[in-house]
Amino acid sequence: MMKQKLFGFLLAFALLLAVFVPSTVRAADKTIVEIAVEDGRFDTLVAAVVAADLADALSGGEWTVFAPTDDAFAKLGLTPDNIATAFSKAELTDILLYHVIPMEVNSDVALTLLGDVTMGNGQIAGLKAFNGDIYVNDDSKVIIADVDASNGVIHAVDTVILGPWPRTADEAPAIGGAPVASGNTIVDIAINDGRFDTLVAAVVAADLAEALSGGEWTVFAPTDDAFAKLALTPDNITTAFTQAELTYILLYHVIPMEINSYMALR
């Protein structure tokens, strides 16, 4: 009799959890993109991610996404039907990468990182806390925190995060941060060096040359000999992978801040 009562209690408790715990919070076995697609509150965001060809990249790796809801996009007159035509692919990529951090940062960790944070496009955003709530760049409030995914975490925000964009004519277009003197960018150095031809071919094919020519980055750059160990060359790397796959691979080799060897050893 005692076992039957215990079983009945556990069953009732399990049913209560099923009813009262939101499905997105329990969905840690699903990727960030899968959760956003299934949730129903992020249709405009999903449309932008698809149009920017970032779905594969955000389905792997480890990310923190400050995800504007459909209501947040609606404040700017943006919907799933018009966001893909309101911006170019490069502009969408810039906007979306300004909403991600390439590591998992839950709300508890975020409270220890208050201040300037480098986002996925190399630009700085400000994390602030006020009355127990987390804000990005003052106006964008986290309204649902810590939606766990298999490859990171989602924090829903009530306002699209606006940064120093759109660019002026004097700045690097689309993706990237502050302009860098011509001939001294990461991409220029890689092109002129002669030991990174396969990497350069991959960067061009992934449409990341402008991104890596602006902002502030640390690049762990595989040499041609490193790629050759995988039988990859400048001639075949662009056909060996899709653009989305190349983007994911390349972003796994960069950190969106400058870290010299001394800092790395600390």
Domains of the chain: 24-157 (2.30.180.10), 186-260 (2.30.180.10)
Predicted TM-score (pTM) above 0.75: no
Specify whether the CB–CB gap between 77 and 97 falls below 8 A: no
Q: What tens digit of pLDDT does each residue of 13-36 get?
A: 343 333 333 433 445 689 999 999
Q: What tens digit of pLDDT does each residue of 113-138 get?
A: 788 888 888 888 888 888 889 999 88
pLDDT band at 261 (very low <50, low <70, confident <90, very high): low
DSSP sequence for 202-246: HHHHTT-TTGGGSS--EE----HHHHHTTT--TTTHHHHS-HHHH
CA distance 100 to 148: 15
Q: Give the gyration radius of the chain's Cα atoms.
A: 21
Q: Residue 260's pLDDT is what?
A: 67
CA distance 2 to 247: 58
The proportion of the chain whose per-residue pLDDT surpasses 70, expressed as a percent, equals: 79
CA distance 207 to 46: 20
